């Protein structure tokens, strides 16, 4: 484990130009289940924000979260859990600067919009929205209030992904034309309890056939391909395989007569989406979360001068790679082009959430709140990643027909400049 550097040292380095602390941001947490608790522990480890209020309608979760804050040496937060709308009372507090939202998906957009209308910086877990209408609600609310809304897509901050971003911006791969990305992870346990009953997330697999979890795939891809700042999604087609994995898993666990083994699941096992951009580039997005398999993301991005393959942990760069048409190991390139955020952070332990990515993204979000600046991931990128859910569902329902992708920037992608993870 690499010892994390001091809070102020990291914030000064990650912000580029150090500014004196204006205040210690005060953050309210909405949702203190598994993911919310993980974010809270990371925030407490950072020791860069106060947490005076927590909301959860599950009394046990709420008290465990409040106790975690007490054990970290801070005053016990006020608890909000009277009913499902009690988050509105938390967000009305004048002593909060920001809110973190880690609730079931169907609550994300409405809570995030309410937080912005209450004048709070918003960081919302993935996905930020699950319908096209919710995506527009977040964009409109952010533009009308002037408040940032950041989706907490941690794979945007993964160390090799940021090093690769530096390489792309330096032109090592040439002009980018194509990317493949995937979220491949057997996640049946996410969706169902030990008896085979659907959790809130499992209800989506019963009633929808879509790519239900596209943001981990797309997180780094948007910056690699200048989406919303030089290019934009134009058209999407999606195809779903039949659904075998969930029933097969429950037959092996419980036998063929168990209700979960014979229940009908609308969600196909493998969903493949193809996006064509306004500039004519292409992106293949795979969702593979219901079949037995090891975890991987299968990022592959290709330009006119070379390509990177995450599964091989390798690159090939024309005229630079020492052997013609032979892969080179990626680690030396990562060392050479390592992003300054990671050089400053110096965290190598998963104790801080997903190998340090949670630590990094929360650090940068809190620093944005403290400085009163833009969040690292803006509302346009947040909804562009999330809108794949309803668009893929629509395309699949129409026999894999092409569907138009909304332009959430309203044409400003043509003149907007890249802003994520800029160096120098």
Average per-residue pLDDT for the chain: 93
Judged against a pLDDT cut of 70, whether residue 2 lies above it is answered with: no
pLDDT > 90: percent of the chain: 89
Tell me what pLDDT residue 4 has: 40
Number of neighbours of residue 170 by Cβ within 10 angstroms: 10
What would you measure as the largest C-alpha separation in the chain, in angstroms? 66
Judged against a pLDDT cut of 60, whether residue 6 lies above it is answered with: no
**CATH class assigned to 156-345+377-414:** alpha beta
Tell me what pLDDT residue 261 has: 97
Which residue pairs from 94-98 have beta carbons closer than 8 angstroms and sit at least 24 positions apart in sequence? 95/26, 95/52, 96/26, 96/27, 96/28, 96/52, 96/53, 96/120, 97/23, 97/25, 97/26, 97/27, 97/121, 97/369, 98/25, 98/26, 98/27, 98/28, 98/49, 98/122, 98/123, 98/365, 98/366, 98/369
Half-sphere exposure of 366 (CA within 13 A, CB side): 29
Q: What is the pLDDT of residues 141-156, one digit of tens each?
A: 999 999 999 999 999 9
In this prediction, residue 408 has a pLDDT band, given cuts at 50, 70 and 90, of very high
List beta partners, residue 314.
309, 329
Judged against a pLDDT cut of 80, whether residue 284 lies above it is answered with: yes
Over range 32-36, report the average pLDDT: 96
Q: What is the pLDDT of residues 72-88, one digit of tens each?
A: 999 999 999 999 999 99
Residue 207 exposed, middle or buried by CB count within 10 Å (0-12, 13-18, 19+): exposed
7-154: CATH topology: Rossmann fold (3.40.50)
**Helices within 232-306 (DSSP H only):** 245-254, 259-262
Tell me what pLDDT residue 170 has: 98
| 333 neighbors 153 (Cβ within 8 angstroms) | no
Please, what sign has the CA dihedral across residues 214, 219, 220, 225?
A: positive
Q: Domain segments of the chain: what residues?
A: 7-154, 156-345+377-414
Tell me what pLDDT residue 323 has: 81
CA angle, corner 250, sides to 182 and 200, nearest 5?
A: 65
In this prediction, residue 376 has a pLDDT band, given cuts at 50, 70 and 90, of very high
| CA distance linking residue 91 with residue 299, whole number of Å | 38
Judged against a pLDDT cut of 80, whether residue 362 lies above it is answered with: yes
Tell me what pLDDT residue 148 has: 98
Transcribe 355-376 into DSSP letters: GGHHHHHHHHHHHHHHHT---S
Judged against a pLDDT cut of 50, whether residue 1 lies above it is answered with: no
Residue 39 exposed, middle or buried by CB count within 10 Å (0-12, 13-18, 19+): buried
Number of neighbours of residue 100 by Cβ within 10 angstroms: 28
Tell me what pLDDT residue 355 has: 79
In this prediction, residue 346 has a pLDDT band, given cuts at 50, 70 and 90, of low
Over range 275-292, report the average pLDDT: 98
In this prediction, residue 5 has a pLDDT band, given cuts at 50, 70 and 90, of very low
Tokens found for residue 141: 């609310």
| CA distance linking residue 188 with residue 198, whole number of Å | 10
Q: What is the pLDDT of residues 298-323, one digit of tens each?
A: 999 999 999 999 999 999 999 999 88
Element (H, E) at 151: strand 149-151
Tell me what pLDDT residue 57 has: 98
Going by C-beta distance under 8 Å and a sequence separation of 6 or more, which residues neighbour residue 389?
127, 130, 210, 211, 212, 214
| CA distance linking residue 49 with residue 8, whole number of Å | 12
Q: What is the pLDDT of residues 198-244, one digit of tens each?
A: 999 999 999 999 999 999 999 999 999 999 999 999 999 999 999 99
| CA distance linking residue 268 with residue 251, whole number of Å | 17
7-154 matches 156-345+377-414 in fold: no
Judged against a pLDDT cut of 50, whether residue 20 lies above it is answered with: no
Q: What is the pLDDT of residues 110-142, one digit of tens each?
A: 999 999 999 999 999 999 999 999 999 999 999
Residue 174 exposed, middle or buried by CB count within 10 Å (0-12, 13-18, 19+): middle
């Amino acid at each position: 484990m690499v010892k994390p550097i001091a809070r102020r040292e990291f914030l000064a380095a990650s912000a580029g130009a150090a500014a004196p602390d204006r205040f210690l941001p005060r953050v309210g947490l909405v949702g203190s289940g598994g993911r919310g608790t993980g974010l809270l522990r990371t925030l407490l480890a950072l020791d860069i924000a106060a947490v005076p209020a927590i909301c959860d309608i599950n009394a046990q979760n709420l008290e465990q979260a409040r106790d975690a804050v007490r054990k970290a040496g801070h005053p016990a937060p006020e608890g909000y859990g009277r009913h499902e709308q009690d988050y509105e009372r938390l967000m009305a507090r004048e002593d909060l600067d920001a809110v973190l939202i880690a609730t079931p998906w169907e609550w994300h957009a409405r809570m995030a919009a309410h937080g912005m209308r209450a004048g709070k910086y918003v960081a919302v877990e993935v996905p930020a929205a699950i319908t096209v209408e919710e995506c527009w609600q977040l964009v409109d609310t952010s533009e009308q209030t002037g408040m940032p809304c950041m989706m907490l897509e941690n794979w945007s901050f993964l160390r090799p992904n940021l090093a690769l971003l530096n390489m792309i911006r330096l032109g090592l791969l040439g002009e980018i034309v194509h990317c493949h990305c995937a979220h491949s992870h057997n996640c049946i346990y996410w969706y169902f309890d030990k008896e085979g009953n659907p959790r809130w997330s499992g209800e989506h697999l019963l009633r929808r056939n879509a790519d239900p979890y596209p943001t981990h795939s797309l997180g780094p891809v948007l910056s690699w391909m200048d989406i919303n700042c030089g290019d934009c999604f134009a058209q999407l087609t999606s195809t779903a395989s039949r659904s075998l994995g969930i029933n097969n898993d429950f037959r092996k666990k419980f036998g063929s007569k168990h209700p979960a083994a014979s229940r009908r699941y609308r969600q196909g096992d493998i969903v493949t989406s193809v996006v064509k951009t306004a500039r004519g580039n292409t992106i293949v997005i795979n969702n593979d979360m219901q079949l037995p398999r090891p975890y991987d993301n299968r990022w592959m991005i290709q330009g006119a001068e070379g390509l990177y393959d995450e599964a091989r942990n390798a690159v090939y760069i024309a005229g630079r790679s020492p052997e013609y048409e032979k892969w080179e190991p990626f680690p030396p390139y990562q060392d050479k082009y390592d992003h300054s955020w990671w050089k400053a952070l110096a965290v190598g332990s998963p104790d801080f959430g997903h190998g340090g990515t949670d630590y990094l993204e929360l650090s940068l979000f809190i620093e944005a709140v403290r400085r009163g600046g833009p969040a690292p991931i803006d509302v346009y990128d947040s909804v562009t990643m999330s809108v794949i859910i309803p668009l893929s569902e629509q395309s699949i329902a129409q026999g894999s027909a092409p569907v138009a992708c909304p332009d959430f920037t309203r044409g400003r992608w043509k003149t907007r400049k890249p802003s994520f993870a800029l160096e120098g």
